[in-house]
Chain A
Amino acid sequence: MTEMIEQASSAAGKDARPVKLACRNVWKLFGANAAKFIGERDGKASMADVAAAGLVGAVRAVDLEIRQGEIFIIMGLSGSGKSTLVRCMSRLVEPSHGKVEFEGNDLLKISDAALIELRRHRMGMVFQNFALLPHLNVLDNIAFPLSIQGQDRATREARAREVIELVGLRGREHFYPRELSGGQQQRVGIARSLATKPEIWFLDEPFSALDPLIRREMQDELMRLQTMLHKTIVFITHDFDEAIRLADRIAIMKDGEVIQIGTPEQLVVDPATDYVAEFTRDVDRAKVISARSLMRACEGAEHGGTVAPEAKISSFSAEIVTAGKPFAVVNGTGKPIGEVTPQAVIDLLAGIERPRAGA
Chain B
Amino acid sequence: MTVTASASEQRPPLQRWLVIWAVALAAVLVVFLMQDTFPWAVNYPASAVVPVSDWVSALMVWIKSNLSWLTRSITAVLGVPLDFALNLLAKNFKIGHGAEAFTLPRLSWVGVCAAAFLAGYAAGGRKLSLLVGGCFLYIALFGQWTSAMLTLALISIAVPFCILTGLFVGIWGWRKPWAERLVVSPALDLMQTIPTFAYLIPMLLLFGNSPVSAMIATAIFATPPMVRATMLGLNRVPLEIGEFSDMAGCTARQKLWRVLLPSARPTLMVGVNQVIMLALNMVIIASMIGAGGLGYDVLLALRALKVGEAMEAGLAIVALAIALDRLSQAIAHKQAKGRVHQEANAGLWRRYPNLTLAIAVLGVTTLLGLFVPAFAAVPKAITFTTAPLWKAAVNWVTINFFDTIEAFRVALILNVLNPLRAFCEGFPWLGAVFLLGLAGYQLSGLRLAALVAALTAFCAITGLWEKTMATVYLCGISAFIACLIGIPIGLMAARSDRFEKVITPIIDTLQVLPSFCFIIPVVMLFRVGDVTAMIATVAFAVVPAIRYTNHGIRQVPPALIEAAKVSGCTPRQTFFRVQLPLALPEIMLGVNQTILMALAMVIICAMVGTRDLGQEVFIALSKADSGRGIVAGLAIAFIGIVADRLFSAWTAKARAKLG
Residues of A bordering B, CB below 8 Å: 87, 90, 92, 116-121, 123-125, 127-131, 133-137, 144-145, 148-149, 173-179, 193, 196, 202
Can you give 10 A-B contacts (C-beta < 8 A)? A118-B249, A119-B247, A125-B244, A128-B240, A130-B240, A131-B240, A131-B243, A134-B263, A135-B265, A177-B338
Q: Is the CB of A178 within 8 A of B243?
A: no
Given contacts A90-B247, A123-B247, A174-B343, 18 further A-B contacts (CB under 8 A): A92-B247, A116-B249, A120-B248, A120-B249, A124-B247, A125-B244, A131-B238, A133-B262, A134-B263, A135-B262, A135-B265, A135-B338, A135-B339, A145-B248, A148-B258, A176-B340, A178-B338, A179-B338
Docked Cα-Cα span, A129 to B238, in Å, equals 9
Q: Could you say which residues of chain B place their CB within 8 Å of the CB of A90?
A: 247
Interface flag for B66 (CB, 8 Å): no
Q: Is the CB of A173 within 8 A of B249?
A: no
Docked Cα-Cα span, A253 to B338, in Å, equals 39
Docked Cα-Cα span, A136 to B241, in Å, equals 13
Interface centre among A133, A175, A202, by most chain B C-beta atoms within 10 angstroms, is: A133
> When the two chains form the complex, which single residue of A87, A123, A144, A176 contacts B338, counting CB atoms closer than 8 Å?
A176
Q: Is the CB of B247 within 8 A of A174?
A: no
Q: A119-B248, A174-B344 are in contact. Are A133 and B263 (CB under 8 A)?
A: yes
Q: Is the CB of A176 within 8 A of B341?
A: yes
Q: Could you say which residues of chain B place their CB within 8 Å of the CB of A174?
A: 341-344
Q: Is the CB of A117 within 8 A of B248?
A: no
Q: Is the CB of B240 within 8 A of A92?
A: no
Q: Could you say which residues of chain A place their CB within 8 Å of the CB of B262?
A: 133-136
Q: Distance (Å) between the CB of A111 and the closest chain B CB?
A: 13
Q: Could you say which residues of chain B place their CB within 8 Å of the CB of A87?
A: 243
Q: A133-B241, A134-B263, A148-B254 are in contact. Are A179 and B248 (CB under 8 A)?
A: no
Q: Is the CB of B249 within 8 A of A117?
A: yes
Q: Could you say which residues of chain B place their CB within 8 Å of the CB of A196?
A: 248
Residues of B bordering A, CB below 8 Å: 238, 240-241, 243-244, 246-251, 254, 258-259, 262-263, 265, 337-344
Q: Is the CB of B251 within 8 A of A116?
A: yes
Q: Could you say which residues of chain B place their CB within 8 Å of the CB of A118?
A: 249
Q: Find the B residue at minimum CB distance from A135.
A: B262
Q: Could you say which residues of chain B place their CB within 8 Å of the CB of A131?
A: 238, 240-241, 243-244
Docked Cα-Cα span, A129 to B323, in Å, equals 38
Docked Cα-Cα span, A117 to B262, in Å, equals 24
Docked Cα-Cα span, A202 to B246, in Å, equals 13
Docked Cα-Cα span, A120 to B254, in Å, equals 13
Docked Cα-Cα span, A356 to B18, in Å, equals 80
Docked Cα-Cα span, A178 to B250, in Å, equals 24
Q: Could you say which residues of chain B place their CB within 8 Å of the CB of A124?
A: 247
Q: Find the B residue at minimum CB distance from A173.
A: B344
Q: Distance (Å) between the CB of B132 and the closest chain A CB?
A: 25
Q: Distance (Å) between the CB of A283 and the closest chain B CB?
A: 30
Q: Is the CB of A148 within 8 A of B250?
A: yes
Q: Which 6 A-B pairs have the closest CB atoms?
A: A120-B249, A131-B240, A145-B248, A174-B341, A131-B244, A178-B338
Q: Is the CB of B338 within 8 A of A127?
A: no
Docked Cα-Cα span, A117 to B249, in Å, equals 7
Q: Is the CB of A179 within 8 A of B254?
A: no
Q: Is the CB of B249 within 8 A of A145?
A: yes
Docked Cα-Cα span, A127 to B243, in Å, equals 9
Docked Cα-Cα span, A130 to B238, in Å, equals 10
Docked Cα-Cα span, A149 to B245, in Å, equals 12
Q: Could you say which residues of chain B place their CB within 8 Å of the CB of A120?
A: 248-249
Q: Distance (Å) between the CB of B359 and the closest chain A CB?
A: 24
Q: Distance (Å) between the CB of B145 and the closest chain A CB?
A: 37
Q: Find the A residue at minimum CB distance from B266.
A: A134
Q: Could you say which residues of chain A place their CB within 8 Å of the CB of B343?
A: 174
Q: Distance (Å) between the CB of A119 and the closest chain B CB?
A: 4
Q: Is the CB of A148 within 8 A of B238?
A: no
Q: Could you say which residues of chain A place their CB within 8 Å of the CB of B339?
A: 135, 137, 176
Q: Is the CB of B238 within 8 A of A92?
A: no
Q: A119-B246, A134-B263 are in contact. Are A179 and B240 (CB under 8 A)?
A: no
Docked Cα-Cα span, A297 to B240, in Å, equals 53
Q: Could you say which residues of chain B place their CB within 8 Å of the CB of A177?
A: 338
Q: Find the B residue at minimum CB distance from A115.
A: B249
Docked Cα-Cα span, A125 to B344, in Å, equals 28
Q: Could you say which residues of chain B place their CB within 8 Å of the CB of A179?
A: 338, 340-341
Docked Cα-Cα span, A120 to B249, in Å, equals 5
Interface centre among A87, A120, A135, A178, by most chain B C-beta atoms within 10 angstroms, is: A135
Q: Could you say which residues of chain A place their CB within 8 Å of the CB of B258?
A: 144, 148
Q: Could you say which residues of chain A place their CB within 8 Å of the CB of B248?
A: 119-120, 144-145, 148, 196
Docked Cα-Cα span, A128 to B250, in Å, equals 20
Q: Distance (Å) between the CB of B133 and the closest chain A CB?
A: 29
Docked Cα-Cα span, A90 to B247, in Å, equals 8
Q: Distance (Å) between the CB of B597 and the closest chain A CB?
A: 34
Q: Find the B residue at minimum CB distance from A193.
A: B247
Q: Distance (Å) between the CB of A56 and the closest chain B CB?
A: 18
Interface centre among A87, A116, A179, by most chain B C-beta atoms within 10 angstroms, is: A116
Q: Find the A residue at minimum CB distance from B258.
A: A148
Q: Distance (Å) between the CB of B261 and the closest chain A CB?
A: 10
Q: Could you say which residues of chain B place their CB within 8 Å of the CB of A92?
A: 243, 246-247
Q: Distance (Å) between the CB of A203 and the closest chain B CB?
A: 12
Docked Cα-Cα span, A116 to B247, in Å, equals 8
Q: Is the CB of A137 within 8 A of B243?
A: no
Interface centre among B244, B250, B340, by most chain A C-beta atoms within 10 angstroms, is: B244
Docked Cα-Cα span, A125 to B243, in Å, equals 9
Q: Find the A residue at minimum CB distance from B244.
A: A131
Q: Find the B residue at minimum CB distance from A128.
A: B240
Docked Cα-Cα span, A145 to B246, in Å, equals 10
Docked Cα-Cα span, A117 to B251, in Å, equals 10
Q: A116-B251, A135-B265, A148-B254 are in contact. Are A175 and B341 (CB under 8 A)?
A: yes
Q: Is the CB of B249 within 8 A of A148?
A: yes
Q: Could you say which residues of chain B place their CB within 8 Å of the CB of A134?
A: 262-263, 265, 338
Q: Find the B residue at minimum CB distance from A136.
A: B262
Q: Find the A residue at minimum CB distance from B246.
A: A92
Q: Could you say which residues of chain B place their CB within 8 Å of the CB of A202?
A: 247
Docked Cα-Cα span, A173 to B341, in Å, equals 9
Q: Find the B residue at minimum CB distance from A120.
A: B249
> When the two chains form the complex, which single residue of A119, A128, A129, A175 contacts B249, counting CB atoms closer than 8 Å?
A119
Q: Could you say which residues of chain A place their CB within 8 Å of the CB of B238?
A: 129, 131
Interface centre among B262, B339, B340, by most chain A C-beta atoms within 10 angstroms, is: B339
Q: Find the B residue at minimum CB distance from A125.
A: B247
Q: Distance (Å) between the CB of B651 and the closest chain A CB?
A: 31
Q: Could you say which residues of chain B place their CB within 8 Å of the CB of A145?
A: 248-249
Q: Find the B residue at minimum CB distance from A123.
A: B247
Q: Distance (Å) between the CB of B247 and the closest chain A CB?
A: 4
Interface centre among A87, A134, A175, by most chain B C-beta atoms within 10 angstroms, is: A134
Q: Could you say which residues of chain A place their CB within 8 Å of the CB of B344?
A: 173-174
Q: Is the CB of A135 within 8 A of B263?
A: yes
Docked Cα-Cα span, A73 to B429, in Å, equals 71
Docked Cα-Cα span, A116 to B252, in Å, equals 10
Q: Distance (Å) between the CB of B590 and the closest chain A CB?
A: 32
Q: Distance (Å) between the CB of A252 and the closest chain B CB?
A: 24
Docked Cα-Cα span, A90 to B238, in Å, equals 19
Q: Find the A residue at minimum CB distance from B251.
A: A116
Q: Could you say which residues of chain A place their CB within 8 Å of the CB of B251?
A: 116, 148
Q: Could you say which residues of chain B place their CB within 8 Å of the CB of A176?
A: 338-341
Q: Find the B residue at minimum CB distance from A138.
A: B341
Q: Find the A residue at minimum CB distance from B344.
A: A174
Docked Cα-Cα span, A137 to B343, in Å, equals 11
Q: Distance (Å) between the CB of B342 and the closest chain A CB?
A: 6
Q: Could you say which residues of chain B place their CB within 8 Å of the CB of A129?
A: 238, 240
Docked Cα-Cα span, A135 to B268, in Å, equals 13
Q: Could you say which residues of chain A place their CB within 8 Å of the CB of B244?
A: 125, 127, 131
Docked Cα-Cα span, A300 to B258, in Å, equals 71
Q: Distance (Å) between the CB of A231 and the closest chain B CB?
A: 15
Q: Distance (Å) between the CB of B146 and the closest chain A CB?
A: 39
Q: Could you say which residues of chain B place their CB within 8 Å of the CB of A178?
A: 337-338
Docked Cα-Cα span, A16 to B338, in Å, equals 50
